[in-house]
Structure 1
Amino acid sequence: MSSPQTITANIAALRQRIVQSASDTGRDPAEITLLAVSKTRSAEEVAVALDAGLTQIGENYLQEAVDKQAALQGRNACWHFIGPIQSNKTREIASHFDWVHSVDREKIARRLSEQRPEGKPPLKICLQVNISREDSKSGVLPEDALTLAKQITALPALQLRGLMAIPAASDDPAEQRSAFAALRALRDTLQQALPDQTLDTLSMGMSGDMDAAIAEGSTLIRIGTALFGPRPAKAE
């Protein structure tokens, strides 16, 4: 487990990196939100991030997230589900999260809408797009995104906000930017086709490619290791 001092210093460094990357590409850093990806991290580590002023927390694993939410009840946190979604988990996801980034089919979207508890605001949704067309990756294909987007906008308990992608891994900044540019262009196409919607979110960029993502318009940077430090090795 990383020390509070390490996590706090990492957050400060990431904030400065966001400011620098935004400045380098003529963007306002206020447009870019740092999403703390806290899978496998303790509630205590998440609390340190909240103490440092972060409010957006991303989780991949449902039960782990629910346990942390209980431990941190009353704290100012907005919870994002960013992992794969199984049909039998949609009720709890709809109940416990503010955002879901990984919707890639109509069945899941419909279940989330039907199972969103009454009295809660609409669940904010990002479509996960398989922008690099990898067989191993989840996500709707770009050419099918508009159909899915229209289906989601018809569901009463959901609010479509934008797109998410995890492009093919690359160390080449030009390749990184190309994938992110494709996602931004797709978002712009969907916005034009759906003028009544506000598609203001591009969830793209992680520790290794956040600068390229910012250059291409990311509004949510999903950061885990660079924020919380290396994950502890699994016991043999």
Structure 2
Amino acid sequence: MTLIAKKLSSILHQIHSAELQAQRKSDSVALLAVSKTKPCIDLIRAYQAGQRHFGESYLQEALLKQKELANYQITWHFIGPIQSNKTRAIAEHFAWVHSVDRLKIAQRLSEQRPARMSPLNICIQVNISNEVTKSGFSLAELPEAIKRISFLPNIKLRGVMAIPQPETDFALQRMPYRQLYQAVKALNKPELDTFSFGMTGDLNAAIVEGATIVRVGSAIFGARVYK
């Protein structure tokens, strides 16, 4: 077993334990392996250990990986900031986008998703902690954003994504996720079934508060090295 396989197994065990503690169904939380900055061999090792969903933040890097790993049955998720001039390539090469932070981006993804492909799964990014350094819709803007994006063709609005302000206290970690989860559920839209919540540091809190996808990178692949 490779080191990546061991780390992957450890994270999956943590997710399963958190599901049990939260009295949730087993396998109700999916793991998205955040592979940005990591070489293809690392993705292959995770794939060989059973991982199929990988998240990338840098478009050109992701496109190169997709080409090199074309023979692997990988589901690609885009999770990084989106510039308007990158939407066409994202619409053409990904199955999921977690970081739709404004209406214009949703509209461009809708217009540029090829008709031959299945609808692009998207999550609305919510700036749940109202941080000036982060993009995304505010909680107050969310209902109108959902209403407008839901009607766009060629995309499928699946739910929301959030990266709250970092906290070390478990109760404080839970609070923003609970607030956003309850706000979405109050809209009574069963089709919004995806809550992309939680990373390595707050994974357990996110699962307690309804996460259906957790995004984990360094705990699987090791610390990132940025050029």
What TM-score results when the alignment is normalised by the length of structure 2? 0.97
Judge conservation of contact 1:18–1:29 (CA < 8 Å) in 2: no
Which residue among 124, 135, 139 is the counterpart of 1:138? 135
2:200 corresponding residue in structure 1: 207
Secondary structure class of the residue paired with 1:119: coil
Which residue among 210, 217, 220 is the counterpart of 1:217? 210
Which residue among 152, 155, 174 is the counterpart of 1:158? 155
1:73 corresponding residue in structure 2: 70
1:90 corresponding residue in structure 2: 87
CA distance in 1 between partners of 2:115 and 2:65 (Å) = 23
1:7 corresponding residue in structure 2: 4
Question: What's the CA shift for 1:232?
Answer: 3.5
2:222 corresponding residue in structure 1: 229
Question: What's the CA shift for 1:227?
Answer: 0.8
CA distance in 2 between partners of 1:87 and 1:34 (Å) = 28
Secondary structure class of the residue paired with 1:143: coil
Question: What's the CA shift for 1:231?
Answer: 2.1
Give the AA of the match of 2:210: G
CA distance in 2 between partners of 1:199 and 1:233 (Å) = 35
1:128 corresponding residue in structure 2: 125
Secondary structure class of the residue paired with 2:31: strand
Aligned residue pair count: 227
| Structure 1 outlier segments of 4+, above 4 Å | none
1:114 corresponding residue in structure 2: 111
Give the AA of the match of 2:149: I
Question: What's the CA shift for 1:5?
Answer: 1.3
Name stretches of at least 5 consecutive residues in structure 1 with no aligned partner: none
Give the RMSD, CA atoms, in angstroms: 1.2
Judge conservation of contact 2:54–2:76 (CA < 8 Å) in 1: yes
CA distance in 2 between partners of 1:228 and 1:59 (Å) = 13
What TM-score results when the alignment is normalised by the length of structure 1? 0.93
Question: What's the CA shift for 1:152?
Answer: 1.0
Deviations 1:43-71 (A, max 9, x none): 11111111111111100000000000001
Question: What's the CA shift for 1:233?
Answer: 6.7
Tell me, yes or no, if structure 1 residue 99 matches structure 2 residue 127: no
